[in-house]
Amino acid sequence: MNTLLLYPIAVPILVGFVCLLTPRQFRGPREALTVLTALASLAMSVFIFMQPTLYIHIPWLTLTGNLTLAFDFQSAAYARLTLLVVSSFGLLAALFSIPFLAKHPRHNEYYAYFLMALGVTSGAVLSENLLLLLFFWELHGFLLFLMAGINGDSAIPASTRTLILAGFGDLTLLFGLVLLWTQTGSFSINILSAQAISVNSWLMGVAFVLMAFGSFVKIGVMPLHSWITAISTETPMTVMGYFTSLDKMLGFYLLTVLALNIFDLSGWGGWFLMTMGVITLFGGVLMAMVQSDFRKMLAFHSVSQIGYMVLGIGTGTPVGIIGGLFHLVNMIIVKGALYLCGGSVQHATGKTKFSEMGGLAKAMPWTFVSTLIASLAIAGVPPLNAFVSKWLVYQGIIEHGGAAFPIYLLVAMFGSALTLASFMKLLYSMFWGDRPQELADVKESPWAMTLPIFVLGLIAAGFGIFYRWPVETLLAPILDQPIRSIGLWQSGLAAILMIVSLLIGLVIYWAGRPRRNVETEVFLGGEALDPEIYRVPGTHFYGPVKGMNGLRQVYAAADRGALDLYLLSYRVIKSASDWIYRYIDQALAEFYQEVIPALWSLIGQILRVLNTKMVLTRILWALYAVGLIGIFFMPNQYEIVTLARIIACIGMIGWAFLAWVERNLTRMLVLATTSQLGFVVLGASLSSDVAISYLLTGSVAIAVLFLVAYLIRRTLHTDKIEQMGGVAGRMPWAFLLFVLAALWLSGLPPFGSFFSKFLLGVAASEISPLLTIAITGTAIMTLSYLLRPIGRFLRAK
């Protein structure tokens, strides 16, 4: 029985893969398969909904110790309700997709992502474990990214933005989860619920805010909403209607679980959510009013409506929470209807801008009526469903109380009024007024489109009039507490009264309207004008709003992108990255590759001038000899031995610099030998064994180097390193010997002088770290200057 929980998750995902892999032209079968799968999903959800809470545990990964990622699914009351809503919506969206997507070139991908998203959302909702929820959550974000890019190239910026914002949400959620885990040691919703963690501790407060941000991205709370409005114009309408709704359900599900089950939000936590809610609802509607493309306008409205839900949850009162949840259900229905209406209009006219439409009410009556109902519903006009849910949210605010509650209440109500105002613009621009001549022969969309919209409109009305059933039967069981509602009216009677009053209004309108339109030609300066010019679209209805002082600046800032958090952060990160690239990475590269060699060359050149005609070199040889004699005959005279060591170090390092700037190969080897002799002198002062072994191993390498240099000189008739290009190709064996000897001399293992050098280092480090530095420094310089001829040998001639 409990395995039942797996089907709504696994079946759509698997069928999604089937859809992806079927050839593109199999459109019909793929559509049928999708609808069947969505139907089966709904059937399973209904079945799960009827059952008491089911639970299943399937072990998967043991990360370490007691930290596991298992498939723990549970159909708690809220989860199974959300599942039901998700799958019902999935079926409707599947039906609607068929005509709308019929000619889309990426048909297979669309349905694949569609079904996978359904399964993944179900998985997240049914997860009993927050880590598992995160798993599905991220998958959903990735599917959204794929879906956002389905219209091809124009959608790339929008889909990129979607992925990055989704990634932001995923990562904040992840980090919040991690913090929660370190405090509680568990990811299980059941276990965490039993603890009711207070957000008043510093760490848990951060954890709550981070996790809330995760859900904010998914539901589109301002200022994390911008992916919704960005993809609204770049994807098929069904994607907007379906995917953003799934995201909302998912995000809201998590937010509710956080607010109700896991955290105890008394105190600032509630105010935090309420404030985010109010900002979102007001900012969203302000932006919606001035849009000229209905897809964008709807997108901003859906952002705005989210605010009411977050506000309701934030009140923390049973009536507010139920109000928020009911508003979510209502918005899925109403927004779904509105998106589908928009889709239907777009399907029929091919237009999305308000200014290009008008007067469609007659041509598309079913779409018009559905849009009208949905618009009134979203504005919260009684007796439609969103009126009830907003009413409950308002009550929640009142019940929550606190000093600032009247402000929240006022803003929320004012937002509602603006919503109505903004939908008047939509209705006027699209359905009333004059129809552009281009659209003269527009016809109603096929029934497969209009029927789902109309059904949604009916449900919207039904949920408003008979609100008791959804509120008390579906939602109330989520909370354990009873809901105290203030001023609940007799809905049946109220509805009848309202309908009667509307009918009276209609009668008056019909009685008073002009009998016929007077049509006349328009002249300007005696010239007949195209009536099209004088068509008044509704686009500029709220032009004055845009010009209002105070708001004007806000809109201007929004136009510049100054309010777009994504864009702002992107700019900041980009300039920080520029800085890092230039002043850390490239600067370091320049330091290692240019500055250090230049410094070496400078020292080398100075020494080179002093060493004219090898004067210094001869002096050094003499000093080496004196040092050696001193070491052999007065090994216990500390000053003499120290002096010999200093001479040795000067020789090692100084002549390495000289070799670095030498242009003549043979002379470079002479200088190198001089430098290496320093090691021998130093070794002699430490232990004679080390000195002898170094002398032996070093001599072999030096001999080979001189031999190769001789061979090269004989072949190329030059001793200048500059002119030795192409040696590697012409004399491969000589080249190989040279490389091996160079590595040998530098003390790189596994070659001979490595062990001598190691022993030298061990002995030296007992005396002084300075000696160790000298040995190591010389070794690295030896390699550096020997790489110069090697590099030249390798180059083309």
Q: Which residues bind another protein (CB under 8 A)?
A: 60-65, 67, 69, 131, 134-135, 138-139, 142, 153, 156, 160, 163-164, 167-168, 171-172, 174-175, 178-179, 181-182, 570, 573-574, 576-581, 584-585, 588-589, 592-593, 728, 743, 746, 748-750, 754-755, 758-759, 761-762, 765-766, 772, 776, 779-780, 783-784, 787, 791, 794-796
CA distance 18 to 33: 9
**Nearest distance from C-beta of residue 551 to another protein, angstroms:** 33
Query: CA torsion angle for 744, 746, 747, 749 (degrees, to 10)?
Result: -60
Residue 423: what residue type?
F
Residue among 26 and 579 whose Cβ is closer to another protein = 579
Cβ proximity to another protein: between 554 and 787 the closer is 787
**Taking the complex as a whole, how short is the minimal distance between the CB of residue 565 and another protein, in angstroms?**
13
The minimum distance between CB 744 and another protein, in angstroms, equals 11
122 or 370: whose CB is closer to another protein?
A: 122
> The dihedral of CA 479, 480, 485, 488: what is its sign?
positive
User: Whose Cβ is closer to another protein: residue 167's or residue 223's?
Assistant: 167
User: Taking the complex as a whole, how short is the minimal distance between the CB of residue 775 and another protein, in angstroms?
Assistant: 8
**Closer CB to another protein, residue 576 or residue 625?**
576
Tell me if residue 749 falls in helix, strand or coil: coil
C-alpha count within 13 angstroms, C-beta hemisphere, residue 246:
34
Query: In this structure, what are the phi and psi dihedrals at residue 324, rounded to the nearest 5 degrees?
Result: -60, -45
Nearer to another protein, 706 or 758 (CB): 758
> Which pair of structure tokens corresponds to residue 92?
């409707």
Shorter beta-carbon distance to another protein: residue 181 or 466: 181
- Min CB(310)–another protein separation in Å: 23
Question: Which lies closer to another protein via its Cβ, residue 54 or residue 731?
Answer: 731
* Cα–Cα distance list, 394 to 277, 283, 322 (Å): 13, 18, 11
On the CB side of 442, CA atoms within 13 Å amount to 28
Min separation Cβ 365 and another protein, Å: 41
Q: How far is the CB of 752 from another protein (least distance, A)?
A: 12
Please give the Cα distance from 46 to 489 (Å, whole number): 31
Closest distance of CB 82 from another protein, Å: 21
Nearer to another protein, 463 or 785 (CB): 785
The answer to whether residues 32 and 112 touch, using CB atoms and an 8 Å cutoff, is no
Residues listed for the chain: 797
The sign of the CA dihedral 388, 403, 406, 285 is negative
- Other Cβ atoms less than 10 A from the Cβ of 50: the count is 9
Name the nearest CA neighbour of 213 among 160, 157, 289, 273.
273
Task: In angstroms, give the least distance from the CB of 272 to another protein.
Answer: 19
Nearer residue to another protein within complex by CB, 164 or 737: 164
DSSP state of 127: B
- Give CA–CA dist 94/92, Å, rounded: 5
- Distance of closest approach, residue 644 Cβ to another protein, in angstroms: 22
Measured between alpha carbons, how far is residue 171 from residues 134, 159, 206, 284, 643 in Å? 10, 18, 14, 25, 62
